[in-house]
Amino acid sequence: MATLTNGQVDAAVHGGAASTNGLVNGISHTHSPASCATIPMKDHDAIKLFIGQIPRNLDEKDLRPLFEEFGKIYELTVLKDRFTGMHKGCAFLTYCARESALKAQTALHEQKTLPGMNRPIQVKPADSESRGEDRKLFVGMLNKQQCEDDVRRLFESFGSIEECTILRGPDGNSKGCAFVKYSTHAEAQAAISALHGSQTMPGASSSLVVKFADTDKERTIRRMQQMAGQMGIFNPMALQFGAYGAYAQVQQQAALMASVGQGGYLSPMAAFAAAQMQHMATINGLPGAPMTPTSGGSTPPGITAPTVTSIPSPISVNGFTGLPPPQANGQAPAEAMFTNGIHPYPAQSPTAADPLQQAYAGVQQYAAAFPAAYGQISQAFPQPPPIIPQQQREGPEGCNLFIYHLPQEFGDGELMQMFLPFGNVISSKVFVDRATNQSKCFGFVSFDNPGSAQAAIQSMNGFQIGMKRLKVQLKRPKDANRPY
């Protein structure tokens, strides 16, 4: 039953709308929402029915008697052509009570044919009514051992569950998520409020997710995004350079690192800065801890790094820069780079102030500059494409790193940028607390080969950022016993 409050709201909304219609159009060619003189009320879970196969000579007053025998009618509207006003042979019907609608549907749908029609009358919930999606929940972060009954028990106190399905892979194993369909939207909403983020299932990596399931449209978009993600397109780098450009860029950076890696310490941030300094010729000879030779490097110390000349535009090197919009001559002034926090090492003064600090200045402002940089990309692409989160893939054994003590403001993108100089990053993930949406300051990076991972550990483990030093080590295998 509708509560008084609901009824009053309904009455206010519908009554008001109807009056306005009447005034504006002069004629109430739609309908009157109430068949009675009293305030119209309908149940909050009332169903709007679509009535099809109605003879065009029947209007609302002719139809009412036919439907009133199943209950009090709240609203009955014959559909008319927007421009010609012609009867379209169908109508919408809402009973005050949900029960009446169900009775009418059972009694009439496909059960009789009105005079002059070839096909039986159609009585069914209108398309605009929930096809289930607005009362169906997606539940994530379940324990993979939980079965349908477990999920039901968790959700049953918020309403009547019409459907409960655990999503399973081809092998029958739970994917750790489920669909739960309630009989009403309100029940589903109540479950979200009570359960989303409320607990973390044993063995789950994050707290319970409870949200409305994707609509058909959203599902289509999701599928397209997944496809796009698998093809490696539509990520910011690929957008700017094309797939090949992105690849070339990574290769170039790797080469850059390799070429200087043995001689002196080169932070990845320095590599960035270097790459961004289009006119910078040399970046070798920097002070710092010696770097253990890794698989990548064979060039002796002290050589000149390759001049970076093939950057196609001043927009960005790695997808995000603090560069201002392109200048008329296509060049960003060096000063602007500095004010935007990308401080390349002065090529001719390798002993200048602590390069790590400089690098961090770059890191911080780099993160801060991201929104601006994205705006800039948007300028370059009149239809700004959605940024599609990359698919998280595990690298081969020995290729997956655990990184701790990340700056709070680092996201997946910044993490990837930081490790790109060491090789092909196939995945980067910063952990985010679902409740607060704040980074937990640790994350994962996966490379496609162990050499890159080792190179990254060598250079980045202990990398000082502010008061903290990064901890970079191989990710613990999943089945590893916790040390004590």
- Chain positions contacting DNA, by CB under 7 A: 132-133, 136, 138, 140-141, 163, 165, 167, 175-177, 179, 181, 205-206, 209, 211, 213-214, 219, 222, 226, 389, 391-395, 400, 402, 427-429, 431-432, 434, 442, 444-446, 473, 475-476, 478
For residue 473, the minimal CB distance to DNA (Å) is 6
Which neighbouring-strand residues pair with 166?
Answer: 178
Which neighbouring-strand residues pair with 73?
Answer: 95
For residue 124, the minimal CB distance to DNA (Å) is 19
Closer residue to DNA (CB): 91 or 151: 151
Closer residue to DNA (CB): 92 or 404: 404
Q: Is-contact 428 419, C-beta < 8 A? A: yes
CA distance 444 to 454: 14
CA distance 204 to 335: 48
Closer residue to DNA (CB): 180 or 317: 180
For residue 474, the minimal CB distance to DNA (Å) is 7
Closer residue to DNA (CB): 56 or 219: 219
CA distance 144 to 162: 22
Nearest to 378 by CA among 319, 334, 418, 333: 319
242 backbone φψ class: left, alpha, beta (φ>0; ψ -120 to 50): left
Closer residue to DNA (CB): 51 or 425: 425
Closer residue to DNA (CB): 350 or 398: 398
Question: Which DSSP state fits 420?
Answer: G
For residue 98, the minimal CB distance to DNA (Å) is 21
Nearest to 234 by CA among 364, 339, 381, 134: 381
Closer residue to DNA (CB): 202 or 382: 202
* Dihedral of alpha carbons 394, 400, 406, 410, sign: negative
CA distance 141 to 147: 13
Under DSSP, is residue 289 helix (H, G, I), strand (E, B) or coil? coil
Residues 6+ away with beta carbon under 8 Å from 8: 39
Closer residue to DNA (CB): 180 or 256: 180
- What is the Cα gyration radius of the chain? 32
CA distance 180 to 152: 8
Instruction: Compute, in degrees rounded to 10, the torsion defined by CA atoms 412, 416, 419, 422.
Output: 150
Q: Is-contact 135 158, C-beta < 8 A? A: no
For residue 213, the minimal CB distance to DNA (Å) is 4
Closer residue to DNA (CB): 112 or 222: 222
Closer residue to DNA (CB): 128 or 205: 205
CA distance 135 to 190: 10
For 49, phi then psi, to 5°, come to: -100, 145
For residue 205, the minimal CB distance to DNA (Å) is 4
For residue 206, the minimal CB distance to DNA (Å) is 3
For residue 483, the minimal CB distance to DNA (Å) is 9
Task: Give me 405's structure tokens.
Answer: 């003590």
Closer residue to DNA (CB): 137 or 308: 137
* Dihedral of alpha carbons 156, 159, 164, 166, sign: negative
CA distance 337 to 373: 12
For residue 390, the minimal CB distance to DNA (Å) is 9
Which neighbouring-strand residues pair with 122?
Answer: 52
Task: Give me 214's structure tokens.
Answer: 């994707």
For residue 100, the minimal CB distance to DNA (Å) is 27
For residue 167, the minimal CB distance to DNA (Å) is 6
